[in-house]
Structure 1
Amino acid sequence: MAVNGEVNGGVERVLGVGAMLGEGPLWLDDALWFVDIKQHRVHRFTPATGDHQTWTAPAQVGWVQPLADGGMLAGLQTGLHRFDPADGSFTHLHVVEPDSPGNRLNDSTVDAAGRLWFGSMDDGESAASGLIYRADADGVAPVVDGIVITNGPAISTDGATLYHCDTLAGTIHACTIREDGSLADTRIFAAVDVATQGYPDGPIVDAEGYVWVSFYGGWCVRRYSPDGKQVAEIRLPVSNVTKIAIGGPDGRTAYATTAAKGLSDDHRALQPYAGDVFAFDAGVAGQPAHRVATIAGRRIA
């Protein structure tokens, strides 16, 4: 696995990128896709060969997801774009929040039906203007509102539960997904003291139905059972851990994106690898990456 080779307690630094705000890791076709939101970068890293490609987006980019027709969809501050890795182009498809110029898109997932779920947030991280959206054959619709920093969503293995984080509040929520894609029975799945444990960032669900949550300012990734009990904690050598994706040649390697954003010069000196990508053995497979079937109501395939 080693590319840069530093190992700490089973956690290995596999790619040095120094991301200001690394996010959105996605395991797809034997490669790890992720973004650096603040530096407007899309990255693709192939662990088996060490190949690393980078593209520059025209605005802050929160995530990329695969499309049913083989292309890629990118969530930018300016809306949804088709992204073509072959020539690096971004083609605008849909404005998500025309009346909220201070918001940006932040984190996403795709369910087995090809529906895209994604969040927005206040770029200044203070106004409760963030929403979570569902994009399907009926268009793009908000399903959760009133959050400053949204993270997730993540979908359970049976497709019946959506998890999302209210990061500043320190809460991870679970919602029942109705057959029509609306949400019901919102409840707190888990909660932490952000002052001592860090802020819950990107969640994912593994093949066993357990929820992994990365913690910004918490130096770790935690795994929760389906009933919300913490069952494991993986410590990293950097404080700002944003999200993991599980994949790799063995299908059980967790790749963690991290961030240097918000670190003082003194803290940065203590964690010189902040913003790099790390890997560890998750001990379990992840869920497969699903492809987006619709954009703003238009069928892709």
Structure 2
Amino acid sequence: MTAVEPLAGVPACALGESPFWHPREAALYWVDIPGRALHRWTGRDGAHRQWPLPTEPGCVAPRLGGGLLLALRDGLWHFDPGAGLTRRVAKAPYDTATQRFNDGKADALGRLWVGTYSEDGRTGEAALYRFDAGRIERVAGGISASNGLAWSPDGRTMYWADTRAHVVYAFDFDVSGGTLSRQREFARFASRDAAAPAAYGGRPDGAAVDADGGYWVAMYEGARLLRFAPDGTLTREVPLPVRSPTMPCFGDDDLKTLYVTTARKGLGADELAREPWAGAVLRLRVDVPGLPVNFAHA
């Protein structure tokens, strides 16, 4: 494993999220949620481009037919890098005054799974939705900050986190039907109130799975990445030079570069001086490759 470094020539995000490596373009995409922007960095030349968006983007996924699928506050949209937003394909199924879309990814058959974030902090108001064949359906709920979506290499386990509750769940996942069963706790972490100040290790945010089934999760406010084996055993901890990593993804041709979005939102001048890379996209090399991104069929 190599040292952590930031992507050069890329502006800091207030809250970077939803990175994915686009194999056809050899490029990294991600969003800045409060910055209302989509970003792309091209690996072969280091070129960076960003697009302003009308509302907060929760996540982004590549489309099989070309372009991207963006989850904005008001719904799911097709996006073309040359033309911008082209069509809303699903209206947001929640009260947009108190919620917005958050973490989301496509499964192996191209269905988009996307959760919501309760901005007023009410426990149980956020949910997880599945978008398939033009329909968006609620499939799980009872949380306040949906995050941590990822699938095992065989597709039979889906992971889902509630960041505010400091817990990661696992489900049995039926690939053909796109249904969930047997929800259980996969990992739980002490809250800031429950842990001694020096022992607080952050809360689970975005995640990715490697080819051996390792679940890599960014610990927001914990300045670290954690890797768990499929049985829930903690196998690796990677310290990071920023307090709030938000989500990892695997990229480059060999899928052995771990890209990590981070946040700087809420940091004061003194904190930013101590964390000059806060809001940057970080990267490091790992030994086990990740899984390629799934394309949305919508």
Instruction: Give the one of 154, 157, 177 matched to 1:158.
Output: 154
Q: What CA distance in whole angstroms lies between the structure 1 residues aligned with 2:94 and 2:241? A: 39
Residue range with higher mean Cα deviation, 241-250 or 22-31: 241-250
5+ unaligned residues in a row in structure 1: which ranges? Answer: 1-8, 295-301
C-alpha distance 236-163 of structure 1, shift in aligned 2 (>3 A): same
Other-structure match for 2:256: 252
| 3-state SS of paired residue (1:169) | coil
5+ unaligned residues in a row in structure 2: which ranges? Answer: 193-199
| 3-state SS of paired residue (1:157) | coil
Matched-pair identity in %: 37
Other-structure match for 2:112: 116
Shift of 1:251: 2.1
Other-structure match for 1:80: 76
Shift of 1:28: 0.6
Matching of residue 192 in structure 1 with residue 189 in structure 2: yes
Other-structure match for 1:219: 223
| 3-state SS of paired residue (1:197) | coil
| 3-state SS of paired residue (1:194) | coil
| 3-state SS of paired residue (1:131) | strand
Other-structure match for 1:130: 126
Contact 1:131 1:142 (8 Å CA) reproduced: yes
Q: Tell me the number of residue pairs that the alignment of Structure 1 and Structure 2 aligns.
A: 287
Instruction: Give the one of 24, 46, 50 matched to 1:50.
Output: 46
Residue range with higher mean Cα deviation, 126-135 or 236-245: 126-135
Q: What CA distance in whole angstroms lies between the structure 2 residues aligned with 1:217 and 1:90? A: 36
Contact 1:258 1:275 (8 Å CA) reproduced: yes
Matching of residue 230 in structure 1 with residue 225 in structure 2: no
1:48-93: CA deviation from partner (whole Å, max 9, x where unpaired): 2111010011100011111121121100011101111012234322
1:117-152: CA deviation from partner (whole Å, max 9, x where unpaired): 111111244443211111123721111112111103
Task: Output aligned runs, 1:20-99, within 5 Å.
Answer: 20-29=14-23, 30-99=26-95
Contact 1:56 1:88 (8 Å CA) reproduced: no
Alignment TM-score, normalising by the size of structure 2? 0.91
| 3-state SS of paired residue (2:64) | coil
C-alpha distance 57-158 of structure 1, shift in aligned 2 (>3 A): same
1:141-196: CA deviation from partner (whole Å, max 9, x where unpaired): 11111211110321111111110111111111001113422211100111111321
Contact 2:117 2:145 (8 Å CA) reproduced: yes
Q: What CA distance in whole angstroms lies between the structure 2 residues aligned with 1:12 and 1:125? A: 34
| Paired residue type of 1:123 | E
| Paired residue type of 1:286 | G
Q: Aligned-pair RMSD on alpha carbons?
A: 1.7
| 3-state SS of paired residue (2:271) | helix
Residue range with higher mean Cα deviation, 285-294 or 74-83: 285-294
Matching of residue 283 in structure 1 with residue 279 in structure 2: no
Alignment TM-score, normalising by the size of structure 1? 0.91
| Paired residue type of 1:113 | L
| 3-state SS of paired residue (2:11) | coil
Shift of 1:100: 4.5
Shift of 1:236: 1.0
Q: What CA distance in whole angstroms lies between the structure 2 residues aligned with 1:260 and 1:49? A: 26
| Paired residue type of 1:189 | F
| Paired residue type of 1:269 | A
